[in-house]
Structure 1
Amino acid sequence: MILNKLKSGVRPMLTGKRLFMVVAGIAVLCLLPLVSTGISAAKSPLKSKMFDLSEPAAELIRDKALHNGTVLQSFAFDNVNQHIYVVQLMAGGQQLPGESAPVSGANRDKNGDLTLTQLDLTGNELGYMFLKGFGHGVQIGVETVGETAYLWTETDSVTEGSSGWGTQLARFPFENGKIMTPSSPELEKHRLIEGADRTTVNIDPANGLLTMRYRKDGAFRFGVYALEQVNRREYVPVADVPQPAVGTFQGFASYGGYLYLLEGNSYGSTGSVPPTGNTYITAVDLNTGEVADKQLMSAGDTLSFREPEGMAVRLPDVKHPQKAELSFGFASDFTPKRLANIYSLDRLLPEQAIEE
């Protein structure tokens, strides 16, 4: 695939015979069969500019404490009310109401117990929730309705190996201090694809889209849906693409026609040596499933530990959704007090044409 800039210029008007030929040509194309490529065709193309992954990233928050001292797993923005929501595995040693004794961190992980922290945009804690039996927290999303932030997460955790993983999606309002379980009445569940597991979710606030990462028949894929249709329980994807080959998967976000994947390991892991590390972001064209770009991220290279965790799209001004930021996180510092860091890319490349 070669990316070329669109040529500018004035196009002649189509009239008479030329117009008839164009219309006839379109009619013929509509009759041609679709070729099966493993990519589900969209009802209409998902369009947007692509983030420039080669630009330096700006720091949004650095070394901020969360409600628990575990590694942040993922995060999302409430762009209307200017809040950040961060999810992490629940710390060991806590005893919540209804529990007969403190629970170890290993059992919290196995059970899929999560802690959700609400921050302001400077990283100060404003509130928290506990989510018992939800999953691993690989990615979350936020849907804002007025002053209420609805969290989108995985739920109905099933243990696989040493961790719990969600099997469907959940939507619920943030309520400070609340303890939620998969049976909580406030929880609205959505099973978008029968037989799928390892379900995680992200919201594209600029385009009103919900993207779900899921595993089916042993393979990971990403389904993109109109958020308002999902809320009506109409589960018809506008795109569905396979996950390309990546390293250690750490989060994802979509913006219009592109999907962004975060991968990498903490300093000291195989292949991750300071200050370079091995944190990459890959851009995937949601209309074709092809990789459009992949870049090494140098942001936060002076952080201790520095494990990439989570992605989200931020809208600094909701009145101008075309001026978006692609954000990605890092966990820093050491147990038992891991800290949260978020960096953002804000340059969008000019629209480009794909030449086969």
Structure 2
Amino acid sequence: MTISPLPVTRRGLLKLGAAVTATTALTPARAASAADGRFELTAPSTSLIWRKALYDETVMQSFAIDNAHGHIYTVQVKNGAGSDAAGHLCLTKLSLSGTILGHMYLMGFGHGVQIGVEPSGSAAHLWTETDGVSSDGSSRGSRLCRFTFVNGRTLTTSSSALTKYAPVAGATNTTCTIDPSTGRLVMRYWAGGSFRFAVFTLASVKAGSPQKLYDIAQPGGLGTFQGYAAYGNFVYVLTGNSYDISPPPGNTYLTCLDLRTGNQVQRARSVAGKSLNYREPEGMGIQIVSGAPRLCLGLASEPGPRLASIFYKTELI
């Protein structure tokens, strides 16, 4: 894995030019002052939850943090043979200490590679892939959707509780996350033979007139993709495999990309939760605590019923 030789100081970041082969010039976006800076990926990680059970027994695929209400939402392939190919998912609501507070089933949605959450009043609205398309024994969403968390409810792709979106026409393998510091939706999608990240104002997507701010290519050669999170002008990508594929210390890496230019700014191995058995990186999110952000990454563990752990970094540059 190659570390970018670009300077990692704030001054160095300001010198980054427009990468015309990786990004498309779009409407200028105003950076939120609350989201200045980026996370230092070599900083140590701290445990948020450790080896917690989810509602079903499969591997956590991703998670999102509701910072308004203090909850974590995780998604995993639903228990049962054929669930992965069919795109059946289990959504679990947790407390910040990892106690199960509720669940939903999402039938035919996809694989759950990354999800987002939008708190509003007393409710939490989840953003996930939907309209899953089966391929090679798994399923990937072809659109995005928004729905309100209701404990115990099962949704299908035709449920009236869903609102569906296609911010990038013709895109496949669609997933998204929400940056709580800027109110932007960041969408990862496949088009033209490669994966890309597109950034929209959340309000414009909901209104049905997506305002695209940035659109950058995902660099090749990062490894097995496992999730992403956005904070300010940067998106953070999680890659790697479980210990049975890549033995300890493993090949889990975090990569920081500049959403304005598409440049790779920093890349570092993570050994968070290195004592876990199996240990597979799964999902990312942003937690806000007393106004301060945390970059969170998820890990699955255990040889039988899988357990979920989440670690975070706090140091900003």
Give the alignment's TM-score, normalised by structure 1.
0.82
SS in 1 for 2:212: coil
2-structure distance, mates of 1:170, 1:61:
28
Structure 1 or 2: more strand by fraction? 2
Q: Partner of 2:25 in structure 1?
A: 41
Question: 1:216-236, CA deviations, whole angstroms, 9 ceiling, x for partnerless residues?
Answer: 122100001011111111112
TM-aligned CA distance change 1:309 to 1:4, over 3 Å? closer
1:61 is the counterpart of 2:49? yes
- Contact 1:312–1:327 (CA<8 Å) still a contact in 2? yes
Question: 1:6-35, CA deviations, whole angstroms, 9 ceiling, x for partnerless residues?
Answer: 49xxxxxxxxxxxxxxxxxxxxxxxxxx99
Question: 1:278-334, CA deviations, whole angstroms, 9 ceiling, x for partnerless residues?
Answer: 1000000111101000000011000111000000011113xx2xx211100000112
**One-letter code of the match for 1:201?**
C
TM-aligned CA distance change 1:236 to 1:303, over 3 Å? same
- Contact 2:25–2:214 (CA<8 Å) still a contact in 1? yes
Q: Partner of 2:266 in structure 1?
A: 293
2-structure distance, mates of 1:108, 1:127:
20
2-structure distance, mates of 1:140, 1:3:
29
2-structure distance, mates of 1:215, 1:116:
24
From 54, 61, 64, the counterpart of 1:73: 61
1-structure distance, mates of 2:275, 2:19:
48
Aligned pairs for 1:149-164 (under 5 A) are 149-164=124-139
1-structure distance, mates of 2:72, 2:10:
36
1-structure distance, mates of 2:120, 2:266:
34
Q: Partner of 2:121 in structure 1?
A: 146
Q: Partner of 1:192 in structure 2?
A: 167
Give the alignment's TM-score, normalised by structure 2.
0.92
1:44: Cα distance to partner? 2.3
Aligned pairs for 1:1-356 (under 5 A) are 1-6=6-11, 36-45=20-29, 47=31, 48-92=36-80, 104=81, 107-245=82-220, 246-269=222-245, 272-274=246-248, 276-317=249-290, 320=291, 323-335=292-304, 337-349=305-317
2-structure distance, mates of 1:5, 1:208:
23
Give unpaired runs (5+ residues) of structure 1.
8-33, 93-103, 350-356
- Contact 1:89–1:137 (CA<8 Å) still a contact in 2? yes
- Contact 1:46–1:257 (CA<8 Å) still a contact in 2? no
**One-letter code of the match for 2:61?**
Q
1-structure distance, mates of 2:152, 2:244:
36
**One-letter code of the match for 1:265?**
N
- Contact 1:112–1:163 (CA<8 Å) still a contact in 2? yes
TM-aligned CA distance change 1:35 to 1:329, over 3 Å? closer
Give unpaired runs (5+ residues) of structure 2.
1-5, 13-17
- Contact 2:180–2:286 (CA<8 Å) still a contact in 1? yes
Superposed CA RMSD in Å reads 1.5
1:118: Cα distance to partner? 0.2
- Contact 1:67–1:128 (CA<8 Å) still a contact in 2? yes
SS in 1 for 2:103: strand
2-structure distance, mates of 1:262, 1:113:
23
2-structure distance, mates of 1:146, 1:273:
45
The count of aligned residue pairs is: 302
TM-aligned CA distance change 1:235 to 1:75, over 3 Å? same
Question: 1:187-212, CA deviations, whole angstroms, 9 ceiling, x for partnerless residues?
Answer: 00001111110000100011101000
1:160: Cα distance to partner? 1.2
Of all paired residues, the percent bearing the same amino acid is 44
**One-letter code of the match for 1:163?**
S
